[in-house]
Amino acid sequence: MNFELLCRNVKVLVEEVAGFIKNEREKKSSNRIMTKGKHDFVTATDKGAELRLVKGLQDLLPESGFIAEEGTGSKTNKTYNWIIDPIDGTTNFIHGSPPYAISVALIENEEIVLGIVYEVMSSECFYSYKNALAYLNGNPISVSQTSRVSDSLIATGFPYTSFERMAPFMKSLEYFFTQTHGVRRLGSAATDLAYVACGRYDAFYEYNLSAWDVAAGAFLVQQAGGKVGDFHGDKNYIFGKEIVASNGILFDEFQRKVEQLMNS
């Protein structure tokens, strides 16, 4: 498999879908909002973007399966599966408040081999593929060199559908508010992880995320020299509903602190 060529073609597709999302956002009236659950929304644009991604990716890799947020083409393949979020940050999109991003990852067996996060409004394309560097709009990127949690800028996401871990989460916020350079919340986990990959943030953690929220971004962090895990120090971050990511220097200290705070 020529992952470099495949990544180049997927980038073209993603850029086309980003154009569709921008056009739909400008119309506003076309974005009928549907509710999947409390504070969990989907728009006609999410569905339209996903249809375009699935069709284009199927053409590029006909034997592949799909794990997609809105369920388009939902089937799995023994070898290759795309993990897709057509708009990560739908609530931001609804309100016209960036960021919101397209997230596309390819898994070969159980290994991620390609990842793209495209932040729509800034036209920033973060991407990488197996045995390559990570890039932002053609330029190589790398994680930060911050060596201590006390010197770091942390990103997280606020709970919006699952509140059973609010007490430890609030405890973690209090700690990171007071013991770091600050905490940021963008409303798009894919973008948060891309920002860790390019060094804008030093670390990121969040719970109750799905595979399509994190697969591409987690791959970018690793390809850019960082590390990714879960709250328990394991590697179940794609399907395990919790993720910790940071540069390689900071990771052990950060992961231990998140584990201590979130599992208390």
Per-residue pLDDT at 28 exceeds 90:
no
Q: What are the φ/ψ torsions at residue 257 (nearest 5 degrees)? A: -70, -45
- pLDDT score recorded for residue 32: 63
Find the domain containing 78 and state its range: 3-141
Q: Which of 83, 107, 141 is the last residue of a domain?
A: 141
103/187 same-domain check: no
11/128 same-domain check: yes
Q: What is the DSSP letter of 253?
A: H
27/48 same-domain check: yes
Residues shown for the chain:
264
Strands ordered across the beta sheet of 242-247: 182-184, 153-156, 203-207, 242-247, 226-229
180/229 same-domain check: yes
169/137 same-domain check: no
pLDDT mean across residues, the chain: 92
Other C-beta atoms within 10 Å of 91: how many? 16
92/159 same-domain check: no
Other C-beta atoms within 10 Å of 20: how many? 16
91/155 same-domain check: no
- pLDDT score recorded for residue 68: 86
Q: What pLDDT band is residue 44 in, cutting at 50, 70 and 90?
A: confident
The distance of Cα 131 from the centroid of its chain, to the nearest Å, equals 20
Nearest C-alpha neighbor of 208 from the set 153, 169, 150: 169
88/48 same-domain check: yes
Per-residue pLDDT at 255 exceeds 70:
yes
pLDDT tens digit sequence for 107-148: 999 899 999 999 999 999 999 999 999 999 999 999 999 999
Q: What pLDDT band is residue 37 in, cutting at 50, 70 and 90?
A: very low
Residue type at 253 in one-letter notation: E
Beta bridge partners of 65: 81
pLDDT tens digit sequence for 147-194: 999 999 999 999 777 678 889 999 999 999 999 999 999 999 999 999
Q: Which of 97, 125, 141 is the last residue of a domain?
A: 141
Q: What pLDDT band is residue 31 in, cutting at 50, 70 and 90?
A: low
- pLDDT score recorded for residue 6: 98
In the chain, how many domains are there?
2
116/58 same-domain check: yes
Q: Which two tokens stand for residue 6?
A: 């495949």
For the entire predicted model, the pTM comes to 0.93
**CATH code of residue 123:** 3.30.540.10
20/123 same-domain check: yes
Q: Which of 121, 141, 161 is the last residue of a domain?
A: 141
Mean pLDDT value across residues 49-74: 88
136/160 same-domain check: no
**C-alpha to C-alpha distance for 201 and 246, rounded to whole angstroms:** 8
Q: What pLDDT band is residue 26 in, cutting at 50, 70 and 90?
A: confident
Between 165 and 51, where is the model more confident? 51
130/222 same-domain check: no
**C-alpha to C-alpha distance for 178 and 64, rounded to whole angstroms:** 46
**CATH code of residue 233:** 3.40.190.80
Residue type at 246 in one-letter notation: S
Nearest C-alpha neighbor of 100 from the set 61, 139, 42: 42
pLDDT tens digit sequence for 189-244: 999 999 999 999 999 999 999 999 999 999 999 999 999 999 999 999 999 999 99
